[in-house]
Structure 1
């Protein structure tokens, strides 16, 4: 699980504190004979007071040394220094990349393994742009310094070829978090009528976690990187954990470490490696259904494109549907593509008299029609604001996270009002 700095296992500082307490207790033991002397003895000798003050100074000095030692060991124990793994370590841990791939968390090659005594997940990605070794080290250090309860920690990286920018692939090592992807929780191909997210509280909890996690990435890391983006927001990149159904975001730092965020056009930087179709039109790799219109046109990831992807994922969380899907039209004999954005707009465009009914029909039926309609309506409107075509009209993630927090509190009140009353007594005695 993600650890904050306050949640780090500070076993080494504990030993330092114990040494500090021992030194202080020794200082008290040295003062004990002085305090037990009679008053006449303490007044006739001037050396007693001096020895007492020296003893207290010695105790204070040893205490300050122990405190400095404790702080130093605490600083060393904090997970801020990234691990630079040798490719041979990655090969050994993944059985020369022949181990079973972790297919649920990403479409890219990934393996669950053990590195340096920790259970981790290794993701293989290609560089979109050559990055110098020093720049890569600085970016890796900045990313590993970020910690949030809704973000899976990046532990380190390794580069094929043995040098920054010298290899084609980078292997990003993240801590392993036990859970299932949001996509698998919403859509189980083996049992489509079942979901573990069968109550409203679990879904609003996930929405709140993800909103605050992305808001942290955009606005609250305190890093030197300007306009920090995620660029890989999708339901398969979110891990849902039990028992409280918290959402945790994967792939934080991937965009910065793989060179996906530089605002360079393909004409100025051919190393971005855009793919060309047979018509020679440039198209950029992205996640189908989550790409904003401006990202599809330019391939440049921005914070507003993150907001768009979050809005799609929010609609996905409400309806349980895929971002894009194809339905067979019997009348024409063709497949018709529908998006969750279009179906959400259709549900909200109904008249005021029928809006509640269309919204209930649009919502995931596995919720059992048990959810606060007013909260769902506000949340759907907020999601549709996030997926507006013009990025200027989309809200900032700070505002989105604040609104979702308010809706979370409204959901808590609704949930409390729906509980069965416990102060009712029933008597079967004759009247």
Structure 2
């Protein structure tokens, strides 16, 4: 009995953890991953409370640091935006100049050679980013503006063929700027063309001046103007149906670039067959930007009424309202020239003229009459469906009400299926007739 009592006492004096722990010789108690105690008991532990306070203090510090960093970043952004706004307000012309040519066409190579390749050309400075060529050299290159070198004539001067280098033929426009309007057109054209680069817009190579004379130098277009090809001595004999559609398509591409990819949008304002130039491969390029503007709708109070009879849209002529649809109207007249082989205004008598639009409209919408008014050079050489489609596009473009006219982008999409793949469209033909391809042996100056 005593022995049992002694053993019981010894057991009671042993530490409790030696009975509960499976590891009686551990140097420190192990904290379980999941506490078996209720949450209320855990919260009452002083160690746990101190840990929570420490974590809360760290969290507050991190939040303060994050707020400070965010505030600093926001302040920097606001300051940067303010600086940019002040700069653009103070120097608006520079910011606009950088934005005027936003187009995928800029990703391609330049359509004309740069003058830096020719060491024999004497440059005397720059006008913005346009090279200024020595006037004496231009004078010599044109044969002192020899009459036989005249390529065309405009309101303020002539365009001459010139040889600036053994391997470089150019076109030189000579403007007589005693008239303030001529000076304004010179400045306008140089400024615009210096910012424009597109395969269907003429390339500006340089400029020059001497007293009241202003010079603009362009790439040379070996096949001259569309007007000369259609209404000159050949009367359009070099222009097959497919080539005419190609020229219309190229012109529409150039206009689409001006209307939709330039910022601000450019309205040509003087689109006509004499301002559509053709290179050695009959690629068409828009030229003569002296009257072009870079803002939207105009009225008689802030812009002088300008243009060429036969191409001017009715709303511009009557109300001074000028939009991109004004260019679409002029394009429609050019399309009629290509289709019918007639001038935009025909003289019926010494004091009487008739517009091609007025004359053709009743017959364009009559399928039985349409084939009879087509240019004899191309008559019966096209698919009748294509003929009707082109006539329909022309009719829409020359509608008196601007809102009824299509956008030039819609016109472009209508013409693409009518032009053979070989000429820049999507039409697949088994074999192009030999006369479709240009026979001019000259190589175009552009790559």
Superposition TM-score, scaled by structure 2 size: 0.58
Structure 1 residue 298, shift from structure 2 partner? 5.6
Name the residue aligned to 2:393.
Answer: 382
**For 1:365-405, what per-residue CA distance to the aligned partner results, in whole angstroms no more than 9, with x for missing partners?**
11141211111111111112111222232222112111111
Q: How many angstroms apart in 1 are the aligned matches of 2:276 and 2:194?
A: 19
Contact map agreement 2:418 2:427 (CA 8 A) in 1: no
- Residues 207 and 89 of structure 1: CA distance in aligned 2, closer, same or farther (over 3 Å): same
Aligned Cα root-mean-square deviation (Å): 4.1
Paired residues for 1:69-80 under 5 Å: none
1:369 counterpart = 2:380: yes
Quote the offset at 1:414 in angstroms.
7.6
Partners of 2:158 and 2:173 within 8 A in 1: yes
- Cα 1:214–1:375 change in 2 (3 A) is same
Aligned with residue 163 of structure 2, among 95, 110, 114: 114
Which of 349, 359, 363 is residue 347 of structure 1 equivalent to?
363
Aligned to 2:346: 325
2:133 to 85, 104, 111: 85
Query: 2:243 is matched with which residue: 163, 184, 202?
Result: 202
Verify the 8 A CA contact 2:244 2:338 in the aligned structure 1.
Answer: yes
In structure 2, the CA distance between the partners of 1:268 and 1:299, relative to structure 1 (3 Å rule), is closer
For the Cα contact (< 8 Å) 2:200–2:286, is it kept in 1?
Answer: yes
For 1:231, the equivalent position in structure 2 comes to: 269
Distance in 1 between residues matched to 2:220 and 2:355, nearest whole Å: 32
TM-score, with normalisation over the residues of structure 1? 0.60
Q: 1:412 to 1:359 in 2, by over 3 A?
A: farther
Q: Cα–Cα, structure 1 residues 308 and 104, in superposed 2: closer, same or farther, change >3 Å? A: same
How many matched pairs?
310
Q: For structure 1, list consecutive stretches of 5 or more residues without a partner in the other structure.
A: 14-79, 162-166, 273-283, 329-333, 420-431
Correspondence for 1:255 = 291
Alpha-carbon distance change, 148 to 110 in structure 1, aligned in 2, over 3 angstroms: same
- Which of these residues, 316, 330, 334, is aligned with residue 295 of structure 1? 316
* Correspondence for 1:215 among 233, 242, 256: 256
- Gap change, CA 1:116 and 1:83, over 3 Å in 2: farther
1:398 matched residue in structure 2: 409
Structure 2 unaligned segments of length 5 or more: list them: 1-105, 118-127, 434-447
- Specify the alignment match of 1:49 in structure 2: none
